[in-house]
């Protein structure tokens, strides 16, 4: 991006959306500020279940597990504030709180069970560093991780979480065979409450469906007596107020888990891109295209937050689309709310009895919460894939990736028999899906360009934009270019044709090409080069549906992403590149 483009980008003004009650830089009154912060806390708390699950896999003592929950709250508080700031290259400046994400859960559970909490801490730090590295490459991820690849990864995460949820429930039943019916009844009631509220409720009950479902699950667990045997004893023994004890923390780098955590960091970064794109759109009524410099700063803050979370023993955090929904519903996107969220979490982190409720959550309730999360993640992946036309190439990538990934839980003994160095690539549904999808997509990028030619301004007809419009309309349908993108290309090329026609000594040759990611239009003629408007700031278009479920599309600006001009004597060439 050159200096002139930097200046234009810096001078671009946003427009306050009329539907917002408290916009980005506005300060709500103190009672409202505290209430809005607590709403976010209530949505985030159910995700702390994953910390308890990893603590159990690492065989941490009960008091250490309570401290792990409390430290996770502090990490969420830190990352919420960090993301809300604009500290040069770090921080998006938006209210975008994180949750303890399911993306890291499979890898964290495996590392905890095999090598203990030190491996989880060390590898989450490594994953955070990978996400920070990704922030510098966000302009180059569009073709390597398109909708089809991102969707496959998210679907694989959903399948893996569903497998973990089933394992939590079935292992509980194996250990307490006399509670099989009660355990399944508790899980079903919890899941029914969550799903019912998500589908039929409105307003806050819909937003808090996970939290309310867990509370219902606690009630049903009390009726069926499926609480852990030490639940009440541990609750009574816990202090009312205490600072978290970090002495259980230790750090180790586990090379055998490097690939799995790198994939998790990558998936987390892709998710953040979509969430921040929605934050930009939600806070600017004049929004036209994603600000990739801001998104890169947000991804960097997310990676740094995960890195700090690893230092505090948290099994991976990431920005949450669910919390963006809270902001949409309440009309409050003020980044000052981040400080309220942080205040609540710091207060709760010093209440061991609260952390104990999560650590000792009845396993049937925990299984239902994970299953619900996995189901939503699976459908999110399907929606991401469906957000773009499913070509034959995409069908092969989806089919082969998912079928290969599903062989991991079906034939685990085969993968265990492979050489040890392969286990980090074949140890989970997620890693196999990525290992298959990414190379296939890279391979299928070969030969994807399609071209067509048009000659305007023959001896019988002048060079007019109308002739191009008729030709391009058929081409856009054939190449499956969206109506919004087709309109942008047509508008810019129409203007270019009008300018060129006035400077051309003879016909104008157009060469059009597309590879489903870009459209390239080249105009060749004899004459003089016209003065065309500058291209837009060189920012890569992000299709937010390619990164997270339920996020809306974008409105494109009427300009080319890149313009190149050249002339040799009277032979002129203008190339316009549009990123779809």
Q: pLDDT tens digits for 275-286?
A: 888 889 889 888
The domain ranges of the chain are: 17-444, 450-579
Report the 10 Å Cβ neighbour count for 231.
Answer: 18
What is the rounded CA–CA span in Å between residue 268 and residue 152?
14
What's the whole-number mean pLDDT along residues 318-341? 88
Q: What is the dihedral of CA 306, 550, 374, 115, to 10 degrees?
A: -10
When pLDDT is cut at 50, 70 and 90, the band that residue 461 belongs to is low
What pLDDT, on a 0 to 100 scale, did the predictor assign at position 311? Answer: 97
Q: Is-contact 385 152, C-beta < 8 A? A: yes
Distances (CA, A) of 11 to 5, 14, 557: 10, 10, 16
**% of the chain surpassing 90 pLDDT:** 43
What's the whole-number mean pLDDT along residues 323-334? 84
**% of the chain surpassing 70 pLDDT:** 92
Residue 1 has pLDDT above 50, yes or no: no
Tell which CATH classification among 3.30.565.10, 3.30.1490.20, 3.40.47.10, 1.25.40.10 matches the domain 450-579. 3.30.565.10
Q: Is-contact 520 514, C-beta < 8 A? A: yes
Residue 484 has pLDDT above 90, yes or no: no
Helices in 19-146 by DSSP H: which ranges?
Answer: 30-44, 49-57, 62-84, 105-115, 117-135
Residue 232 has pLDDT above 60, yes or no: yes
Report the 10 Å Cβ neighbour count for 70.
Answer: 28
Question: Which residues pair with residue 98 across a beta bridge?
Answer: 319
Looking at every residue in the chain, the average pLDDT score rounds to 85
Q: Which two three-digit tokens encode residue 573?
A: 């060439």
Burial (CB count within 10 angstroms: exposed 0-12, middle 13-18, buried 19+), residue 56: middle
Report the 10 Å Cβ neighbour count for 290.
Answer: 23
Helices in 201-257 by DSSP H: which ranges?
Answer: 203-207, 209-224, 231-237
């Amino acid at each position: 991006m050159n200096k002139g483009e930097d200046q234009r980008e810096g001078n671009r003004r946003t427009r306050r959306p009329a539907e917002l009650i408290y916009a980005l830089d506005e300060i709500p009154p103190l009672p409202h500020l505290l209430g809005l912060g607590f709403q976010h806390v209530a949505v985030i708390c159910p995700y702390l279940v994953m910390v308890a699950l990893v603590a159990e896999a690492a065989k941490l003592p009960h008091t250490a597990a309570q401290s792990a929950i409390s430290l996770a709250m502090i990490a969420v508080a830190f990352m919420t504030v960090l993301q809300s700031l604009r500290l040069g290259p770090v921080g998006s400046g938006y209210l975008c709180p994180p949750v303890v994400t399911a993306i890291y859960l499979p890898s964290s559970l495996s590392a905890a069970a095999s090598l203990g909490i030190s491996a989880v801490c060390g590898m989450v730090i490594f994953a955070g560093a990978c996400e920070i590295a990704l922030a510098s490459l966000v302009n180059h991820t569009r073709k390597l991780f398109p909708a089809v690849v991102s969707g496959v990864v998210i679907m694989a995460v959903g399948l893996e979480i569903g497998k973990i949820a089933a394992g939590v429930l079935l292992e509980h039943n194996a250990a307490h065979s006399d509670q099989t019916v009660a355990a399944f009844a508790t899980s079903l009631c919890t899941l029914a409450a969550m799903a019912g509220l998500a589908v039929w409720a409105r307003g806050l009950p819909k937003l808090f469906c996970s939290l309310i479902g867990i509370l219902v699950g606690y009630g049903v667990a009390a009726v069926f007596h499926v609480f852990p045997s030490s639940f009440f004893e541990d609750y009574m023994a816990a202090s009312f107020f205490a600072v978290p004890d970090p002495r259980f923390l230790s750090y180790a780098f586990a090379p055998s888990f490097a690939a799995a955590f790198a994939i998790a960091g990558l998936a987390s970064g892709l998710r953040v891109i979509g969430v921040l794109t929605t934050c930009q759109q939600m806070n600017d009524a004049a929004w036209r295209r994603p600000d990739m410099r801001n998104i890169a700063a947000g991804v960097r803050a997310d990676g740094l937050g995960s890195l700090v979370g690893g230092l505090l023993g948290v099994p991976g955090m990431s920005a949450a689309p669910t919390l963006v929904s809270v902001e949409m519903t309440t009309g409050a996107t003020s980044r000052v709310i981040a400080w309220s969220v942080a205040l609540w979490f710091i207060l709760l982190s010093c209440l061991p009895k609260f952390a104990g409720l999560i650590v000792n959550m009845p396993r049937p309730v925990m299984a239902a919460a994970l299953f619900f999360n996995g189901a939503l993640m699976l459908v999110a992946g399907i929606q991401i894939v469906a957000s773009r036309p499913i070509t034959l190439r995409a069908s092969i990538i989806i089919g082969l990736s998912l079928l290969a990934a599903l062989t991991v839980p079906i034939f685990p003994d085969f993968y265990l028999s492979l050489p040890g160095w392969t286990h980090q690539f074949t140890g989970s549904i997620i890693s196999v899906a990525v290992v298959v999808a990414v190379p296939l997509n890279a391979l299928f990028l070969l030969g994807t360009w399609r071209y067509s030619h048009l000659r305007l301004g023959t001896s019988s007809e002048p060079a007019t934009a109308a002739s191009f419009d008729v030709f391009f309309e058929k081409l856009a349908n054939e190449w499956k270019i969206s109506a919004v993108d087709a309109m942008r290309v047509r508008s810019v090329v129409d203007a270019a044709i009008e300018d060129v026609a006035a400077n051309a000594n003879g016909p104008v040759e157009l060469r059009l090409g597309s590879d489903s990611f870009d459209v390239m239009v080249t105009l060749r003629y004899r004459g003089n080069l016209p003065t065309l408007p500058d291209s837009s700031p060189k920012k890569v278009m992000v299709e937010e549906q390619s990164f997270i479920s339920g996020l809306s599309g974008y409105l494109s600006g009427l300009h080319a992403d890149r313009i190149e001009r050249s002339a040799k004597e009277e032979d002129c060439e203008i190339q316009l590149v549009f990123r779809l």
